[in-house]
Amino acid sequence: MAGMMLRSAAFNDHTMIPRRYSHEAGDVSPPLEWSEAPSGTAELALLCEDPDAPTGTFTHWLVTGIPADSDHLDAGVDLGDRHVGRNDFGQRGYGGPHPPAGDDPHRYFFRLYALAEPSGLAGGFSADDLRHAIEGKVLASGTLVGTYGR
């Protein structure tokens, strides 16, 4: 599987995500940009998770249907409901970092996938639904890790 470069103008890989993009500051999604998707990409999909959550991996953002020829998502982008999954706050869309107060900073993995076929998912899907839908369809991926503590 090929690699894609995923980055943000708001934070660098393995550095602190600014408070503006946290749950307590209103759940504004951070800006993301990436390298060109490989030839044959049908769509892009995005998953953001916190593997350090006390109850197990916590899903913060799920998106499918990102056009293959796109190279970024603006901060606070409104993607509508059609291709947006349900995060573990129980809402559709982006739910920013919100680790328990006093915890060591948690890691937030933003993963972008270039898919050879459309995922076929409709709004409100779960992280497990996404993982199942992209199985065997990933041409390339990129990961950006941010940290956040309170």
Measured distance CA(85)–CA(70) in Å, rounded: 20
- The class of domain 14-69+78-137 in CATH terms is alpha beta
How sure is the predictor about 72, in pLDDT bands with cuts at 50, 70 and 90?
very high
- pLDDT digit string (tens) for 6-64? 999 999 999 999 999 999 999 999 999 999 999 999 999 999 999 999 999 999 999 99
| pLDDT of 143 | 98
Q: How much of the chain is in helix, strand and coil states, percent to nearest 5?
A: 5, 35, 55
pTM (predicted TM-score): 0.97
Question: How many CA atoms, within 13 angstroms, populate the side-chain half-sphere of residue 26?
Answer: 4
* Residue 81: pLDDT over 90: no
Q: Over the stretch 107-146, which tens digit does the pLDDT of each residue have?
A: 999 999 999 999 999 899 999 999 999 999 999 999 999 9
Is there a contact between 23 and 89 (Cβ–Cβ < 8 Å)? yes
Report the alpha-carbon distance of residue 55 to residue 39 in Å, rounded: 39
CA angle 104/30/148 to nearest 5° reads 5
Q: How confident is the model at residue 1 (pLDDT cuts 50, 70, 90)?
A: confident
Strand partners, 84: 63
Residue 71 in contact with residue 41, Cβ under 8 Å?
A: no
Confidence of residue 86 (pLDDT cuts 50, 70, 90): very high
Extents of the domains making up the chain = 14-69+78-137
Kindly report the average pLDDT of the chain as a whole number.
96
